[in-house]
Structure 1
Amino acid sequence: MERNDPLLSLFEPRTVAVIGASRSPEKVGHLVVSNLLASGYQGKIFPVNPHGGEIAGIAAFLSEDQLPETPDLAVLCIPRNLVNASLERLGALGTKAVAVLGSGFKEVGREGYYLEEEAASICRRHGMLMLGPNSLGVFNPARGLSASFVQAAPDAGNVAFFSQSGSLCFSVLDSARSKGFGFSKFVNLGNKALLDESHMLAFLKDDPETEVILGYVENIADGQAFLRAAQEATLEKPVIMIKSGSTPAGARAATSHTGAMAGSEDACRAAFTQAGIIRVGGVEDMFNLAWAFSTQPAPQGPNLCVVTNSGGPGIMAADAAGRTKLNMAALRGQTVDELKAMLPSYADVYNPVDILGDADAARFVKALGVVAADPMVHMVLALLTPAPAVDVEAVARAVAEQARSCGKPVVACFMGEGKVAGAREILRRAKVPCYEYPESAVAALDALFCHCEWKKRPLPVEICYMSNTYQAKDVLDKAKGKGFTELSEFMAQDVLKAYGLPVPKTVLARTSDEAAQAAKSMGYPVALKIASPQILHKSDVGGVALSIGNEDELRRSFMGITNRARRVKEAYVMGCLVQEMAPKGSREVFAGFKRDPQFGPLVLFGLGGIYVEVLRDVSCRLAPLSLLDVGEMVREIKSYPILRGVRGEPPVDFRAVEDVLLTLSQIAVDFPEIEECDFNPIMAHPGGVLVVDARFTLGKPTGNDG
């Protein structure tokens, strides 16, 4: 079935107009025309030059108005002050896509910013796609499309690459050519005035020529659109991305635990996790994974077998596997017996299989064939060090032969440089990834396995609990009406109750007599907490007393807490809150959210109490959360064993903890005006949870969350 995607006019145009085509070989407008001709583009090329004549042997047209037919794609190679007038003329013709290669737009300042905004507005009005401005252009090697001034066009392949950075494109193109690496699509997004990474993901997901998607981004303007596009793309194909610029300098100081810990990097990491994107730190790692994904079949499980001629590197590979989700395969008895029969008596026939330094190609191919046939082995790593007796190129041919026939992922690691260069080239031509070090090879296999597991995950199930949103809205409206930027404790408890969250019995006591009466009514032991809207972190001023067991202790604590609080400048002390204590065996946990400007509400979870900001042992996901999200959040913190129970302690009620996270997520979605929120502490125990303290910080509604 023929695709009906607007981006086909960018990647597969039947006609290309080059606006600003030039007869000067060094100018951008000439290079674009020359590149289209040199790359074998079979469509029509319309150079546009106000002086007419011929450009690279093709007759030029004086203006856009004189083109014999409407171009699918127009490549603009003209000064920025001429761009918008040209866009108007192209839009009037019905041009479907434009690529603006010129610079001098928002990347240079105020005037350029307004020119770019006007350009985007013109394109929207005419229903015209725009790549850039400040773009290097676009390549589709399989169709001979080199709509760019970059002369080093990529070879054809099954991997797509998009980048926000033009300079990185030069580096990637140069590296790819030296590695013999090809691309299905290659595009520089430039300033992303209209087309961005979300559009690329949506298009490449369905592109039949693309099997692997690579990307580099610096900023993501619409985080929710990106998340949706990435989640759909990763269910079809692996998406490997570099994300830089994640920590903006000068971020405002946050008032809550959540605000203190949640930054744009946390939101980005959560988005990549929830979308199934494989994030890498640099270009080398990106190529390493792309090689494996573009050449190897999907593994049927996590079991790895290493066949090596050197014990030390074999152990390094096993150690690397131990740091991933892979297992070193336990070879079945028949496999071990076959290896014993064919290898010297002093060889190691268990995994890693050490076939010894004097192994020739024949021994390698036999050992690889035996382990690859073992049903307990899901993937194979052929690891070689260039010992004097080894014909490394013969071994490379043997590895390539096994890779073609076994139907399982097979990667190689030939350690060294000059002595293994020819062998690596043999493997490259045979489409067998070959790595310099065991750790890189294992990381690539781990990525293959993890992506397969991601695709098998059940579809996310979002839970929406019954709640009285009208009651919660009334509380928030009253707070905003009084000019509050933060809810008082009782207001916060009313919001929690509206959402059915379990809260401890709480009474505001203005005097020690009222405190004693409240404690007697609810039963000892009780807790006392200072009640003051100006004191945010009660423990910092000695404003909390726990496990008070009798009236005398209660009165002393009341007087001590209120006296200390009155020393806080401008603090209005209302008295103390008397609260019931959580059951014995409770463990403190923390949950909260902060609204990220790109991605929306970021929900955090970890151990609670006063050390949450110090230890920073937290997990995070973007709202709305699914059942799978909250299950992962609770179990991926390092202190999870404390919740599971140590030294005979029973585990906490994990379902109750997960319910709190789901409800918190729902609050974040329902009320965009809540900027930050803390539930700290939440007392989790075997019989349920109690949300002991909650803080809501109000901001301006954004209107785009949820």
Structure 2
Amino acid sequence: MTDDKRSGPPVHALLADGTTVCIRPVAAGDHEQLQGLYEEMSPENLRLRFFGVSRRSAEMAADRACAAPRPGYRALLAERSGQVIALAEYDTGGTVTEADMSIAVAEGLHHRGVGTLLVEHLVSAARADGITAFAADALSENREVLRLFADLGLHTARRFEGPEVRCTIELAQDDTYLSAVEERGRAADVASLQPLLRPKSVAVVGAGRTPGSVGRAILHHLKAGGYTRRLFAVNPAATSILGVPSHPSVSALPVAPDLVVVAVPAEGVAQVAEECGKAGTRALLVVTAGLDAEQAQALLTACRTYGMRLVGPNCLGVSNTDPQLRLDATFAATHPRPGTAGVAVQSGGVGIALLDGLSRLGIGVSTFASLGDKYDVSGNDMLQWWESDHRTDLALLHLESFGNPRAFSRTARRVARRIPVLTVDAGRTEAGRRAAASHTAAAATRTMTRGALFTQAGITATRSVGELLETAALLHSQPLPAGSRVAIVTNAGGAGVLAADACAEMGLALPAPAPQLVDELLAELPEGAAVGNPVDASAAVTEEELAHCVDRIMRHGGFDAMLVALVPTAVAAATGDDLVRALTRAPARWTKPVAVIRLEQALPVELLQAECGTVPSYAEPHAAARALAHAVERANWLARPAGSVPVLDGVETQRAHAVVETYLDAHPDGGWLDPRTCAELLGCYGIPQSPWAWAETEDDAVLAAERLRGADGRVVMKGHWPGLLHKSVEHAVHLDLRGDAQVRAAFRDLETRFAGLLTGVVLQPLADRGTELFAGVVQDQVFGPLVLFGLGGTATEVLADHAARLAPLTDHDVHDLITAPRCAPLLFGADGARPVDLEELERLLLRLSRMASELPQLAEADFNPVLATPGGVTVLDARVRLVPRRPHDPYLRRLR
């Protein structure tokens, strides 16, 4: 612990067994407990910790940890229910980038992950302080601490010195380390959710004796749903409610309930939570709404103090349809149908719609959680539960907010590799934060940010609950397509046209059938059939003919999926043919997806029972095409290996941090960098810039122009003063200056028009012709840095041709970023032109991403224009804004 600036606030996190601990900096008042931590250790553990046993070891260790803050030293402790259970510390000893580290865990608390968790937090703090390596000494027989270091996921080197081992631990936060932290976090998270989602006992506080209360409705659902374990009511005025034994208080229950449902008025919630914590409850479900800030804080404090996981407040409840449990702690109108879809929502209304829709479709629900105001349990928690429960094969989310999007993104990427993860992209019209009237901030809307998160994480984002269910039906019932080539078959030409339009609008391909297939189909179908794409089998087609037609197309290699658009006809009715049955009686499941479109269908989507599974049927062609397009996108995402963040040369991270710190020392409130500081910062990351010079007088401008003139002798002059954002709007730019006279005249013009503002000018050679692009970054306090790319120049805001991805960019992300804007064909050589230097363009975006990821103080950067030519890529104009902001580790294990 070095000083107030570097001492973080207390945080709560989960141990391997799911219990909660508080991690915080050591304070002077912790001396007695820290001394007791050591004094209660066995002689053997004291010897392993101090390499010997001394009466004064405990006191001296506590003295060191509780001493006045000093440079290079930091100590963190873990406590549970106010009792210190572990200590981790490091001391640089006057060095700059390496520190000696030690760890101590209370007697009897080994093998529960407390030491590992504490070291993770110490590593995060050290990295923020610029420390790159830990050194730790241990006796070679101290297998536990050596295993702790080895299992961290960090590169560790050992050097044996007699009976001692010197361990050097590199603190680089690479993917191996993040994956190790994720796995430990997943196991701890799932363990902590067991009392919530698989409770051995449940109590409902607030169940009234008369109908009409939410608590009574939940109690009724639990009993009527057949909850298989112990169930209690808590009501001081009753001994039994709905046949469930009732007790006057939680403390009076015969056992400490795993899960307590709280349905009391807002003013009583915190008191109930406190009572539950003292009784040993492990999880709370708070359905009460309307808590004020003080009541909310008291509720969360009780949960953290006693280690209870919390769903809500202001929620519909939770459900687990496992036949061995049958937990339905909700007040929905009906019980959810058991099935394989995991559902997590913030809106109770959306939750009811999804429960009803999934039950109607026959997909059913494995686990449901209405997160409400989401004080604790989040979508990230539920994803990790579904990843581990062996019952869920489809994850559906409705999230209005994200507590930690970067951690959520890593979890979702991992889970989406195993099961489809779908969401409703709620709040699409909410404008993102606009830090200033700059191009980058104006372009970065919250919609764009969420879209980047979903795209990179492999999440299927839909625009409505209806679309979510339509897509879920297809992903649940059909294999993924190998490509986007769709065949359409219909018995009515008009229906086929509608389906073709829908497919084209969703970006699906409609290739013509091969000549051999045309001949085969014409031989199968009745006279008057037209074989193209769509295949119009005519109103006269029989069930048998349609079955053969569909089967031949599905077995043909020229198509990846099929839509069959059918309308009822008197011809089929007269012959007793059921055209839908032609699809559902297939002797074996096809390896390509097929969906039916029935324009007369009453419901938007149904799942038709087939001999080998189910087939989705849609009332609208666009619904079928949308669902199929989502399936194509998922297949493409799965087919591509996970990307990696490329290694970049020529990056000077330490120098960049020094540039930032120097600027913020002089400008404590932050601001836009002046041209010289901006160029220096970009140089730290090897970002290519046009040659330039700074001039504050007319004569200096002339001399600079002489040095910068290219073969044609032309230069550009740009005025500068603090706060200037749009030079072209202010007419503070002079182009195509030739000779000293024009340079002098331009300088005098700027000096006259902007008297009292102008602090100097930037001179550059006039750039060659090329494609003007835009690249930038906005640091979102919730989502982290967002990298934007698109068409540049003065019309960038008007055309709004931008794409975005969250940093850090992988090699796949940067490729997607370049190909996503509408202007992409210009980069690849449209109309016979030579393509621009794509490798250099990728490197520019990767360096911008690296800069944004390493510098949390970088609020936004705006490169416009970026000139791209076949010979290279150059930033012609750059602006960077810094703000005072401490580093934040989004992957550090901690509760909300």
Q: TM-score range by the shorter chain?
A: over 0.9
Aligned to 1:114: 294
How far apart, CA to CA, are the structure 2 residues paired with 1:248 and 1:308? 41
Q: Return closer, same or farther for 1:331/1:193 CA change in 2, 3 Å cut-off.
A: same
How far apart, CA to CA, are the structure 2 residues paired with 1:528 and 1:537? 14
Query: CA offset at residue 306 of structure 1?
Result: 1.6
Question: 1:416-565 to 2 correspondence within 5 Å?
Answer: 416-417=600-601, 431-465=614-648, 466-483=650-667, 485-523=671-709, 524-565=713-754
Q: Return closer, same or farther for 1:646/1:549 CA change in 2, 3 Å cut-off.
A: farther
Find the partner of 2:284 among 88, 94, 98. 98
Task: Please tell me whether the aligned partners of residues 464 and 666 of structure 1 are also in contact (alpha carbons under 8 angstroms).
Answer: no
Q: Return closer, same or farther for 1:384/1:2 CA change in 2, 3 Å cut-off.
A: farther
Question: 1:306-705 to 2 correspondence within 5 Å?
Answer: 306-391=488-573, 394-402=578-586, 405-417=589-601, 431-465=614-648, 466-483=650-667, 485-523=671-709, 524-566=713-755, 571-582=756-767, 584-704=768-888
Task: Please tell me whether the aligned partners of residues 600 and 705 of structure 1 are also in contact (alpha carbons under 8 angstroms).
Answer: no
How far apart, CA to CA, are the structure 2 residues paired with 1:421 and 1:164? 24
SS at the partner of 1:351?
coil
Task: Please tell me whether the aligned partners of residues 434 and 441 of structure 2 are also in contact (alpha carbons under 8 angstroms).
Answer: no
How far apart, CA to CA, are the structure 2 residues paired with 1:428 and 1:150? 33
Query: CA offset at residue 251 of structure 1?
Result: 5.0
Q: After superposition, give the CA deviation of every residue in 1:610-656 in whole Å (9 maximum; x if it has no partner).
A: 11111111111111111111111111111122223344432211111
How far apart, CA to CA, are the structure 2 residues paired with 1:387 and 1:655? 58
Query: CA offset at residue 333 of structure 1?
Result: 4.7
Q: Return closer, same or farther for 1:558/1:396 CA change in 2, 3 Å cut-off.
A: same
How far apart, CA to CA, are the structure 2 residues paired with 1:98 and 1:59? 20
Quick check: 1:26 aligned with 2:206? no
Q: After superposition, give the CA deviation of every residue in 1:580-630 in whole Å (9 maximum; x if it has no partner).
A: 233x33222111111112201111111222111111111111111111111
Task: Please tell me whether the aligned partners of residues 646 and 810 of structure 2 are also in contact (alpha carbons under 8 angstroms).
Answer: yes
Question: 1:174-189 to 2 correspondence within 5 Å?
Answer: 174-176=356-358, 179=361, 182-189=364-371
| TM-score (structure 1 length as normaliser) | 0.92
Question: 1:150-161 to 2 correspondence within 5 Å?
Answer: 150-161=332-343
Q: Return closer, same or farther for 1:460/1:251 CA change in 2, 3 Å cut-off.
A: closer
Find the partner of 1:8 among 189, 194, 212. 194
Query: CA offset at residue 421 of structure 1?
Result: 11
Root mean square deviation, CA, Å: 2.7
SS at the partner of 1:25?
coil
| TM-score (structure 2 length as normaliser) | 0.73
SS at the partner of 2:572?
coil
How far apart, CA to CA, are the structure 2 residues paired with 1:388 and 1:601? 61
Query: CA offset at residue 698 of structure 1?
Result: 1.8
Query: CA offset at residue 270 of structure 1?
Result: 1.2
How far apart, CA to CA, are the structure 1 residues paired with 2:770 and 2:476? 50
Q: After superposition, give the CA deviation of every residue in 1:52-95 in whole Å (9 maximum; x if it has no partner).
A: 41222232222222322232222122222332222223223332
Query: CA offset at residue 561 of structure 1?
Result: 3.4
Task: Please tell me whether the aligned partners of residues 160 and 214 of structure 1 are also in contact (alpha carbons under 8 angstroms).
Answer: yes
Q: Return closer, same or farther for 1:650/1:665 CA change in 2, 3 Å cut-off.
A: same
Q: Return closer, same or farther for 1:494/1:193 CA change in 2, 3 Å cut-off.
A: same
Q: Return closer, same or farther for 1:573/1:414 CA change in 2, 3 Å cut-off.
A: same
Query: CA offset at residue 670 of structure 1?
Result: 1.5
SS at the partner of 2:866?
strand
Query: CA offset at residue 24 of structure 1?
Result: 1.9
Question: 1:300-311 to 2 correspondence within 5 Å?
Answer: 300-311=482-493
SS at the partner of 2:836?
coil
Residue 721 of structure 2 aligns with an amino acid whose one-letter code is S
Quick check: 1:128 aligned with 2:308? yes
Find the partner of 2:460 among 274, 278, 288. 278
Residue 27 of structure 1 aligns with an amino acid whose one-letter code is S
Query: CA offset at residue 359 of structure 1?
Result: 1.9
Aligned to 1:108: none
Query: CA offset at residue 450 of structure 1?
Result: 1.5
Q: Return closer, same or farther for 1:374/1:641 CA change in 2, 3 Å cut-off.
A: closer
Q: After superposition, give the CA deviation of every residue in 1:158-216 in whole Å (9 maximum; x if it has no partner).
A: 22221101122233344455555522222211110101112112222333222111111
Query: CA offset at residue 304 of structure 1?
Result: 2.0
How far apart, CA to CA, are the structure 2 residues paired with 1:704 and 1:279? 28
Moved more, 630-639 or 536-545: 536-545
Query: CA offset at residue 426 of structure 1?
Result: 6.0
Residue 620 of structure 1 aligns with an amino acid whose one-letter code is A
Q: Return closer, same or farther for 1:432/1:425 CA change in 2, 3 Å cut-off.
A: closer
Between the two proteins, the alignment pairs up a number of residues equal to 694
Aligned to 2:447: 265
Q: Return closer, same or farther for 1:272/1:209 CA change in 2, 3 Å cut-off.
A: same
Residue 766 of structure 2 aligns with an amino acid whose one-letter code is M
